[in-house]
Amino acid sequence: MTKTFLTTGLLVALLTTAVYAQPVAFDATLKAHAQLPAQTFVAAPADAPYGLSMSGRFTSGKRVETPYGWTNPASGIAMPFPGQPVQGMSGVRSLGDDRFVFLTDNGFGNKANSSDAMLMFNFMKMDWEAGKVALERTVFLSDPNRIVPFPIVTEHSESRYLTGADFDPESIQPVGDHFWIGDEFGPWLVEVDANGVVLQVVATNPGGVDYKSPDNQFTSQPAAGATVTGINTGRSGGYEGMAVSLDGSTLYPLLEKAFYDETAAALELIGGKPVIRMLEFNVADATWSDKIRYYPLDDAGNAIGDFNIIGGTRALIIERDANEGDDGREKAAAFKRIYLVDLERADENGVLEKIAYIDLMAIKDPDGIAPRGTKDSVFTFPFVTIEDVDLVNPTTIVVANDNNYPGSTGRAAGRADDNEYILLDVAGFLKAE
């Protein structure tokens, strides 16, 4: 395998360089737009600990118990607030009939500030004509049977609801009557039943290699001057996307960022490209395959946002930069793409071929469907984290943003982003060979 590594942000010289075919660009046309206002909340369940009736206490870097006692400087949103915000859409599956299941992520961005953010997924019904979203049902995650292998925030309660200090859920797949969730902290795979009750938590160790992030609950921060060992996925570098085979037998968890090799003390490169690892997991017996595929990033600073199989072994992957906004700000959104790949089309090193792509910063909107974001018949999706894509029908996909409530302001500076959901006509893209 022609492999090298990325050290301190620089590409290491290679003995040989693989040749990558250039993917073909296709147009995307806006078919429909709906949105859920940023300030949409659900009440904590009646049996949840009292402390979960309000959320966002720790987002300022210290405890704030007075409701609306601290204001987020980016968006002007006051917090903490009563209830739990329905925000951070970080994974989607289309259920048909304009219904979707959307996963909410860990809360407010990290373990330290999200211990009062409840983990949940939501069933939503889109009214595309009216541009509105109906929240049908919220499922909160809980561990009443004490399956989670480490102490959780609500450890000593009876209901044992999970919070954003326990897991960072970023991808979801229904398999039968259950749901599998990909986590970034461990990274862990978590199976829950239809009511959100944890059934199993699986550590990541394909080929006998333990994958651990700095937020893994079984790691310790080193003393000053000590060497960090056992950390090979970066912070916020665990499972961002996770596809499932059409028969539900195999999960394909995909890291968000490049894998770190302790021996080389560098991030992984293959053929001169920064790559991220795609693993295989057998659902029936909860075991890992040794097979690893690699998704090549266009730029080392990019990350993936979502990953779903749309037919056979063909799949969609969101790749995006870490910027937001298209209103002239210094670090404006520039690279927001969805790529078409095929899990059986990879080179001798297992690096996937990028077959085609659409540009989410250049969506056609000739009919002026979008309520905002369209200029000269071009609609943009300039959010820092675009983390939802799935097939709706043979010519159409759904795309949505993670609005990082209340901090992201991609649509307009100083205004908290709403959760936006769009349908795109991409018939040519989906047929690309």
Domain ranges (residues) in the chain:
23-430
Round the CA-based radius of gyration of the chain to a whole number and report it. 21
Question: What stretches in the chain show pLDDT beneath 50?
Answer: 1-19
Q: Quote the tokens at residue 39.
A: 């300030």
Q: Quote the tokens at residue 284.
A: 């029936």
**Buried/exposed 222-245: b ≥16 CB within 10 Å, e otherwise:** eeeeeeeeebbbbebbbbbbbbbb
Quick check: pTM over 0.85? yes
pLDDT score recorded for residue 7: 44
Range 23-430: architecture per CATH: 6 Propeller (2.120)
pLDDT score recorded for residue 263: 64
Nearest to 344 by CA among 305, 291, 387: 291
How deeply is 145 buried, as exposed, middle or buried, from its count of CB atoms within 10 A (0-12, 13-18, 19+)?
exposed
Rounded Cα distance between 163 and 303, Å, is 24
pLDDT score recorded for residue 162: 98
Find where tokens 């984290």 sit.
Answer: 385
